[in-house]
């Protein structure tokens, strides 16, 4: 043991090439995994907080029972360090010079909004400005349409119940203006302290209390944990993630980050594996020497374990020294994109996977060959074949692969992901083995000759063992990189498709049936044609198969759709983006039945044939469920839970029409003319929401690009490490070939060709395997449709070939630049 201790020397180790390669691989492994994990954590927080403005908070607690929540709940939240705020929403009549009007009031506390800001105008012609708090007591901000309807001006007073409030600003948009089409009436925003004075809100009146919460994610979760048992069915706790519109985009972004991180883990493992295994095999002579010097096999085992641990520590420290500045750089890039400062969020737990990856792959790949060597007689160590026999390697590999996938599993915790990647890699190796076998059979026939092609092919055959090993690593690396490229492009395509450049960004609501043609004509003339128009009837789902629906549905279920009035419609044909999941869409001339949105149907436990009763005004309509369909909530088009056939249950009900359309920023002035011409039609402007979503998508895209770049860089370094792993052999061979009369140009061309071939084949295999993995991921994680990505599949093999040819050339440089004499001296 003492003797082996003296054999440890960091400086001496550092002089060994293989050791340096191992250390570089460790640094890269730790750096990529840690950077991506840290950045993913940061990005997720940033995204959630930037999407939080849609709620004006991080969480909302809605009380739909018309009663305020117990004050202790808010006290508790504040005691836990959360910010809170309050809103009261109700409808009422307001009075002005020009008459009265039904409005939808939102009364807010001083803290509102906790997230996001409010856009206002100080006069009709004044520029829009953003403020971060609502009206004070005694003030009221109103929708511009209301001013027109009531013939009022800024500075006038507005009568809300018993109170006269000063109109101080025009309310253009509120952060949580959302999509709720229920707010047909113009908006009035006032201070929550004035609500009591109006006398409008009394026991039993329809009013909704909404409470806002903001704070750190774990605190919010703890608080909800505390709160949950006390909530009544009418209480709804909402986070951004639950919002219908953004959840999908956010979820996918998160998954992408997860995938990126997992790929980083895999790549890192490959890098460390290749380097450490190469090192272990190169230690053969040293182990033999140590044995002849009389070191026991235990001593040898201990020596190498200590060495590996030492490098593990050095590599990890080096990796962190790279990761932290890199992370800081990425975060500052992120805040540039967001145009606002981002709080640096350094989660120590995020670096754990990096450390584990480095350590596990270091030991799993380097130790087994050494452990085996130490029990072999010295003579046999010296005489053993270069490389090792397959039978010995298999248990090592099984162990190592299990270790690596354990790591990915631990990192991602996502079964589909692990299986897709494992499957892709397994497929790759099977194909590779078959291909390798075939290649060897073909190449065997190639006879040597003075031309570069033949020499390259002969080289591939002669070095089949290391060629195949290199090809396997290249193919795996390229597969991982290609997977990320593919997922990225399909993710971006998907987002693009979801929110095209001119996605509808305005809704028109409350169009009277006889005004439909005029409204359509108006916008047609403005060059902003309307999407499909739908009739809308407001009604409540009251009975299910003759039983009151509230009794049928379990009390624990909080179903917002039952508490509010639903928007009912009729339509002849199924909208393009809806899909029937069971039953049949209405046939020609069919008037019976109702089609229900799938998630609501699931919550209510509806089956085909269940009879639903709706209360619409004073009438009741009962229809059987004839189909269940999915809806694209984020399509920015009117969507309906319940659809009837034309001439069906809703035929005689009072309907207004609703539609959406795209209006460019330069066309917005037309809204003024429109409002004058059609004062009763409500315009819901959601362009800022769409902008916001697009901004989020841009952020995520940038982040994805950054992570992709990081992964590609890591992949490149892995391949360079693999190429340089054979450097010594190649140099020796190159020197010898030159003494034997090989010309430099021949050497260069044959080496480049050899690598180009390797790269091309590895690239082709890798990208096909990547498509396989993406297919699995797409099916399991990203819910997109699979298609071949020719724009990626075709260039990858070529790029890989060129890249490796360059790497090969670079590796050959030392052989070419010195006289063969010197090489022979040095290599002796």
Partner 1 sequence: MNQMTDLRKTDNRPMLRVSDLTHRVSLETDTLTILQGVSLEINRGESVAIVGRSGSGKTTLLGLLAGLDTPSEGTVELDGSVISTLSEDERAKLRARRVGFVFQSFQLLPALSALENVMLPLELAGMESPQQRARELLERVGLGERLNHTPRQLSGGEQQRVAIARAFASDPVVMFADEPTGNLDNRTGQAVSDLLMELNREQGTTLVMVTHDEHLAARCGRQLHIEAGLLTEPETAGEPEI
Any alpha helices (H) in 283-377, and if so which ranges?
A: 284-292, 297-338, 352-374
Over the window 670 to 709, marking each residue x when it contacts partner 1 by CB under 8 A and - when it does not, the resulting string is: ----------------------------------------
CA distance 420 to 416: 6
Q: State the nearest-atom distance from the C-beta of 751 to partner 1, in Å.
A: 14
- 742 interacts with partner 1 by CB under 8 A: yes
- 736 interacts with partner 1 by CB under 8 A: yes
Write out the two tokens for 99.
Answer: 């008459």
Positions of E strands within 608-725: 611-616, 619-630, 642-644, 656-661, 682-685
Choose, by CB under 8 A, the member of 739, 795, 813, 826 that binds partner 1.
739
Contact between 307 and 279 (Cβ < 8 Å):
no
Question: Of 455 and 553, which CB lies nearer to partner 1 in the complex structure?
Answer: 455
With a CB cutoff of 8 Å and minimum separation 6, the contacts of 267 are 29, 32, 477, 480, 481, 711, 714, 715, 718
- 388 interacts with partner 1 by CB under 8 A: no
- 458 interacts with partner 1 by CB under 8 A: yes
CA distance 750 to 748: 6
Contact between 657 and 626 (Cβ < 8 Å):
no
Question: Of 458 and 608, which CB lies nearer to partner 1 in the complex structure?
Answer: 458
Question: Of 455 and 686, which CB lies nearer to partner 1 in the complex structure?
Answer: 455
Q: Which of residues 288-317 bind partner 1 (CB under 8 A)?
A: none
Choose, by CB under 8 A, the member of 121, 615, 632, 744 that binds partner 1.
744
CA distance 538 to 534: 13
Q: How many CB atoms lie within 10 A of CB 814?
A: 14
Question: Of 33 and 468, which CB lies nearer to partner 1 in the complex structure?
Answer: 468
Choose, by CB under 8 A, the member of 252, 277, 307, 738 that binds partner 1.
738
Residue 781, strand partner residues: none
CA distance 495 to 493: 5
Question: Of 202 and 817, which CB lies nearer to partner 1 in the complex structure?
Answer: 817
Is 104 strand, coil or helix? strand
Question: Of 306 and 454, which CB lies nearer to partner 1 in the complex structure?
Answer: 454
CA atoms 668, 669, 672, 673: torsion sign: negative
Stretch that binds partner 1, among 226-234, 291-299, 451-459, 664-672 (CB under 8 A): 451-459
Question: Of 463 and 558, which CB lies nearer to partner 1 in the complex structure?
Answer: 463
- 813 interacts with partner 1 by CB under 8 A: no
Q: State the nearest-atom distance from the C-beta of 25 to partner 1, in Å.
A: 23
Any alpha helices (H) in 446-545, and if so which ranges?
A: 452-462, 464-498, 516-525
CA distance 556 to 495: 35
CA distance 679 to 101: 12
- 451 interacts with partner 1 by CB under 8 A: yes
CA atoms 269, 275, 276, 278: torsion sign: positive
Positions of E strands within 132-234: 139-142, 157-160, 163-173, 187-191, 207-214
With a CB cutoff of 8 Å and minimum separation 6, the contacts of 524 are 530
Choose, by CB under 8 A, the member of 729, 787, 788, 794 that binds partner 1.
729
Question: Of 191 and 738, which CB lies nearer to partner 1 in the complex structure?
Answer: 738
Q: Which of residues 462-501 bind partner 1 (CB under 8 A)?
A: 462-463, 465-466
- 162 interacts with partner 1 by CB under 8 A: no
Half-sphere exposure of 351 (CA within 13 A, CB side): 16
Write out the two tokens for 725.
Answer: 């792993």
- 384 interacts with partner 1 by CB under 8 A: yes
Q: State the nearest-atom distance from the C-beta of 282 to partner 1, in Å.
A: 12
Choose, by CB under 8 A, the member of 231, 746, 793, 798 that binds partner 1.
746
Q: State the nearest-atom distance from the C-beta of 472 to partner 1, in Å.
A: 17
Question: Of 454 and 603, which CB lies nearer to partner 1 in the complex structure?
Answer: 454
The site that binds partner 1 (CB under 8 A) totals a number of residues, namely 38
Stretch that binds partner 1, among 396-404, 416-424, 429-437, 450-458 (CB under 8 A): 450-458
- 791 interacts with partner 1 by CB under 8 A: no
Stretch that binds partner 1, among 293-301, 377-385, 589-597, 624-632 (CB under 8 A): 377-385
- 443 interacts with partner 1 by CB under 8 A: no
Half-sphere exposure of 558 (CA within 13 A, CB side): 14
Q: State the nearest-atom distance from the C-beta of 24 to partner 1, in Å.
A: 25
Q: Following CA atoms 198, 201, 202, 207 in sequence, which dihedral angle do they give, to the nearest 10 degrees?
A: 180
Question: Of 79 and 442, which CB lies nearer to partner 1 in the complex structure?
Answer: 442
Q: Which stretches of the chain bind partner 1, using CB under 8 A? A: 383-386, 447-451, 454-455, 458, 462-463, 465-466, 729, 732-733, 736-746, 819-822, 824-825, 827-828
């Amino acid at each position: 043991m003492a003797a082996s201790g003296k054999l440890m020397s960091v400086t001496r180790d550092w002089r060994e090439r293989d050791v340096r390669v191992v250390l570089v691989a460790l640094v890269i492994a730790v750096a990529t995994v840690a950077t991506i994990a840290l950045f993913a954590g940061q990005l997720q927080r940033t995204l959630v907080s930037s999407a939080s403005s849609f709620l004006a908070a991080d969480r909302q607690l809605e009380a739909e029972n018309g009663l305020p929540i117990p004050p202790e709940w808010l006290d508790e939240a504040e005691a836990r360090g959360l910010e809170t705020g309050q809103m009261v929403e109700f409808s009422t009549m307001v009075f002005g010079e020009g008459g009265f009007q039904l409005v939808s009031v939102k009364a807010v506390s001083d803290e509102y909004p906790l997230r996001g800001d409010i856009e206002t105008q100080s006069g009709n012609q004044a520029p829009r400005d953003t403020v971060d708090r609502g009206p004070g007591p005694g003030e009221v901000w109103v929708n511009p349409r209301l001013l027109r309807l009531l013939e009022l001006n800024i500075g006038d007073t507005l009568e809300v119940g018993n109170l006269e409030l000063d109109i101080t600003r025009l309310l253009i948009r509120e952060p949580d203006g959302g999509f709720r089409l229920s707010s047909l009436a113009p908006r009035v925003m006032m201070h929550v302290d004035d609500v009591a004075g109006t006398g409008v809100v009394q026991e039993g009146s329809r009013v909704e209390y909404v409470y806002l919460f903001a704070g750190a994610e774990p605190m919010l979760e703890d608080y909800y944990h505390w709160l949950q048992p006390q909530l009544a069915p009418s209480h709804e706790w909402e986070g951004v993630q639950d919002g219908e519109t953004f959840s999908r985009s956010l979820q996918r972004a998160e998954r992408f980050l997860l995938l990126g991180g997992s790929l980083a883990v895999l790549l890192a493992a490959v890098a460390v594996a290749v380097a450490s295994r190469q090192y272990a095999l190169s230690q053969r002579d040293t182990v033999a020497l140590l044995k002849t010097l009389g070191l026991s096999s235990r001593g040898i085992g201990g020596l190498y374990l200590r060495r590996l641990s030492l490098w593990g520590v050095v590599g990890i420290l080096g990796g962190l020294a790279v990761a932290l500045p890199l992370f800081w750089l990425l975060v500052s890039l992120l805040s540039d994109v967001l145009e606002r400062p981002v709080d640096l969020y350094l989660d120590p737990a995020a670096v754990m996977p990096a450390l584990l990856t480095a350590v596990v792959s270091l030991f799993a790949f380097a130790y087994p060959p050494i452990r085996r060597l130490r029990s072999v007689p010295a003579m046999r160590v010296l005489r053993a074949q270069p490389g090792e026999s397959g039978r010995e390697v298999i248990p090592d590999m099984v162990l190592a692969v299990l270790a690596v996938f354990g790591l990915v599993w631990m990192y991602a915790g996502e079964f589909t992901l692990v299986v897709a990647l494992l499957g892709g890699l397994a497929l790759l190796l099977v194909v590779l083995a078959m291909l390798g076998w075939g290649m060897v059979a073909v190449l065997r026939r190639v006879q040597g000759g003075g031309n570069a092609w033949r020499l390259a092919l002969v080289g591939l055959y002669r070095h089949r063992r290391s060629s195949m090993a290199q090809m396997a690593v290249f193919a795996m690396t390229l597969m991982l990189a290609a997977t990320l490229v593919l997922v990225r492009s399909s993710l971006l395509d998907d987002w693009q498709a979801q929110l095209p450049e001119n996605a509808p960004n305005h809704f028109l609501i409350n169009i009277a049936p006889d005004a439909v043609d005029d409204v359509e004509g108006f916008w047609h003339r403005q060059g902003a044609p309307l999407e499909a128009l739908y009739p809308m009837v407001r009604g409540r789902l009251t009975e299910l198969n003759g039983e009151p629906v509230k009794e049928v549905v379990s009390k624990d279920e909080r179903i917002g759709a039952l508490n509010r009035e639903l928007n009912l419609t009729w339509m002849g044909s199924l909208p393009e983006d809806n899909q029937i999941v069971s039953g049949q869409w209405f046939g020609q001339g069919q008037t019976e039945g109702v089609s229900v949105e799938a998630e609501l149907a699931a919550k209510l436990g509806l089956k085909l044939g269940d009879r639903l009763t709706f209360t619409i005004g004073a009438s009741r309509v009962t229809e059987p469920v004839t189909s269940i369909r999915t809806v694209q909530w984020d399509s920015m088009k009117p969507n309906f839970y319940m659809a009837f056939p034309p001439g069906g249950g809703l035929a005689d009900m009072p309907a207004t029409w609703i539609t959406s359309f795209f209006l460019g920023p330069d066309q917005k002035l037309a809204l003024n003319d429109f409002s004058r011409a059609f004062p009763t039609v409500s315009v819901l402007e959601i362009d800022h929401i769409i902008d916001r979503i697009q901004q989020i998508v841009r952020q995520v895209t940038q982040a994805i690009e950054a992570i992709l770049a990081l992964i590609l860089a890591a992949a490149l370094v892995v391949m360079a490490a693999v190429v340089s792993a054979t450097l010594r052999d190649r140099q020796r061979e190159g020197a010898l070939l030159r003494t034997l009369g090989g010309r430099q140009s021949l050497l260069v061309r044959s080496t480049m060709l050899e690598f180009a071939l390797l790269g091309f084949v590895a690239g082709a295999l890798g990208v096909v395997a990547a498509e396989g993995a993406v297919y699995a991921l797409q099916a399991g994680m990203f819910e997109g449709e699979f298609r071949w990505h020719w724009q990626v599949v075709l260039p990858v093999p070529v790029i890989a070939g060129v890249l490796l040819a360059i790497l090969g050339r670079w590796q050959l440089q030392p052989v070419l630049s010195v006289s063969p004499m010197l090489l022979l001296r040095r290599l002796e």
